[in-house]
Amino acid sequence: MIERISINTSKKLQLIDVTSLVESALRNSYGAYNGVLLCYVPHTTAAITINEAADPDVALDIESFLKLHLPEGIKFRHLEGNSDAHVISTLIGSSVIVPVENGSLKLGRWQGIFFVEADGPRVRNINIVKLTS
Looking up residue 82, the CATH number of its domain turns out to be 2.60.120.460
Residue 48 exposure: Cα atoms within 13 Å on the Cβ side: 23
* Residues present in the chain in total: 133
Report if residue 1 sits inside a domain.
no
Residue 5 within any structural domain of the chain = no
Burial class (CB in 10 A: 0-12, 13-18, 19+), 5: middle
Decide if 42 is inside a domain: yes
For residue 3, is it within any domain? Answer: no
Q: CA-to-CA distance for 121 and 94, rounded, in angstroms? A: 18
Asked whether residue 45 is domain-assigned, the answer is yes
Angle, alpha carbons 74-16-84 (nearest 5°): 15
pLDDT digits (tens, 9 = 90+) for 7-29: 999 999 999 999 999 999 999 88
In a domain, 105, yes or no: yes
Q: Which residues span the domain enclosing 79?
A: 15-130
Residue 75 placed within a domain: yes
Split into its structural domains, the chain has a count of 1
Give the integer Cα–Cα distance in Å for 119 and 32.
36
Strands 104-105 and 95-101: antiparallel
Residue 2, beta-bridge partner list? 129
pLDDT tens digit at each of 133 positions of the chain = 899 999 999 999 999 999 999 999 999 888 888 999 999 999 999 999 999 999 999 999 999 999 999 877 788 888 777 889 999 999 999 999 999 999 999 999 999 999 999 999 999 999 999 987 5
CA distance 7 to 49: 15
Instruction: Indicate whether 8 belongs to any domain.
Output: no
